[in-house]
A and B are shown apart, each in its own frame.
Chain A
Amino acid sequence: MTEQEIIEITYKVFEELFEIKREQLQPQAHIFNDLGLDSLDIVDLVVALQKSFGVKIRNEDRVRNIRTLQDIFEFIFAIKNEESKKSS
């Protein structure tokens, strides 16, 4: 999966689940301060990311460090890389 694909899928999650307009979705957007998410939304974000990317991240400590959309892209990219290394 390319970084661009990760960005597209993540944006789609934010558009559909949190009803955020595409123009507000910038890599540096802060998911709490700029996009208005709260702790309850994070639970759903994790479920949606798991489903969209086919990964298991519910018990990942790194989820707690996510602040911006860029953090999500990098996190998913890292998880995907780790998974492919494990399987190869």
Chain B
Amino acid sequence: MQLKRAVITGVGLITPLGGDTGSLMEGIKARKSSVRYMEEWAQYNGLGSHVAAPVELKDEKKIPRQNRRSMGRMSIFAAQASAQALADAGITPSEIPLGRIGCIIGSTMGSAKSINDAFEIMLPTKDISLIPSLLFFQCMSHTAAANVAQYLGLTGYLMAPAAACASSLQAIGIGYDLIRLGRQDVLLCGGAEELHPTVTGSFDILFATSVKYNQSPQKTPRPFDQDRDGLVCGEGSGILILEEYERAVRRNAKIYAEIIGYSTNGSGSHISQADKKSMIHCMSEALNNAQVTPEQIDYISAHATGTLQGDKEEAEAIGEIFGGHVPVSSLKGYIGHTLGASGAIELIASLQMMEEGIIYPTLNLDNISPDCEGIYHVTQPVRKEIKTILKNSFAFGGIAAALVCRKFDSSVKSNGRSE
């Protein structure tokens, strides 16, 4: 069976550095951190990390109330990023045949604030009748995907991978497969996530958050740095338009890149600890699927969140496959760890780097930690022609995901594969 090809023809972003792709890239270029001290979190006993990268919510009332009423914060981010991505691609869903345009948008869970609100309403009186009718739709695990589909009139596949910090990369990977199999013509793929003290708290109780920089928030997280002390939560949404290649060419669409390889796996070993072996396996399988060698990768957008264990394992895994030849950077220092949205947000930033021919550095990487050495850390902007990139995402639950994208080249007529 000759598989179809999946290309990216639109992107949309809501990030702590701004509500579109341009403002994120301007912030990254200016080496700007969006991490700040969260004064209102001081009231939580036992919470050590009081830093986060929040999004400034804007224009949410432009979404009609009938659509907005079932949206928590993360769904608003997803809806805004999705509308941007469709506009960027020049696609109007109603012009696509019924059932051929869908969305796959992942997140760790439903809206954290809404879940918290539901229990705060119910528990003091144990009265379920006080819960507003729309709160459930904000709490459900597929809230972002479902709300986007209703808001934009998407009638195709509607799915929501819940794989914590690998959710959006899995969403893109699933979309890649569905487009290649010919099951969908266009898909909105990505993720969304929102900040809440309970979200940071879930990492905090596992000693995975940054706690030493509450008074100097811009210095954390510090991926791969010797003074890193944990992750910092961010929020936002990244949405990519995946489109069947022939369709995109027929309508003369701008093609950012072609997705040429993907893999995801479970470590089968530990619920929370990062596992080098499964990372290596996942990246290798993605390269095999893309039919590229490690030497052909021009840039690796690392997952690296600034945790002691996770960064070390990822650096070792990358080192084992790529040695010290392929530039590696993590974007968590700029926007924190946007969890389920991080894979999509950082992939979009990587596509921008591909377009500009510049690799932006890991922010706050001042002194490479001895346990993260052996790979090509980008600490200053690097000018380079970027043809092929690898994006990593790793998650609690022992999940790894890796995606390979190639710059679109109209002279390449086929991906040359029949699987």
Contact = CB atoms under 8 A, between A and B. Distances in A.
Contact of B132 (A19, A38, A44): A44
Interface in B106-141: 129-134
Given A18-B65, A19-B65, A40 B130 contact: no
Contacts of A38: 66
B132 A36 contact: no
Contacts of B133: 40-41, 43-44, 47
A40 B68 CA distance: 13
Contacts of B69: 40-41
Interface in A44-59: 44, 47, 58
Most buried by A among B66, B130, B133, B134: B133
Q: Is the interface of A mostly helix, strand, loop or mixed?
A: helix
Contacts of B66: 36, 38
A67 B372 CA distance: 67
A43 B132 CA distance: 7
A33 B316 CA distance: 63
Contact size class for A? 10 to 19
Contacts of A36: 66
Given A18-B65, A19-B65, A40 B134 contact: yes
B132 A47 contact: yes
Nearest to B65: A19
A64 to B, nearest CB: 16
Interface in A32-88: 36, 38, 40-41, 43-44, 47, 58
A18 B133 CA distance: 13
A79 B134 CA distance: 26
B140 to A, nearest CB: 14
B126 to A, nearest CB: 16
21 contacts: A18-B65, A19-B61, A19-B65, A36-B66, A38-B66, A40-B69, A40-B133, A40-B134, A41-B69, A41-B133, A43-B132, A43-B133, A44-B132, A44-B133, A44-B134, A47-B129, A47-B130, A47-B131, A47-B132, A47-B133, A58-B129
Interface of B: 61, 65-66, 69, 129-134
Given A19-B65, A44-B133, A47-B129, 18 more contacts: A18-B65, A19-B61, A36-B66, A38-B66, A40-B69, A40-B133, A40-B134, A41-B69, A41-B133, A43-B132, A43-B133, A44-B132, A44-B134, A47-B130, A47-B131, A47-B132, A47-B133, A58-B129
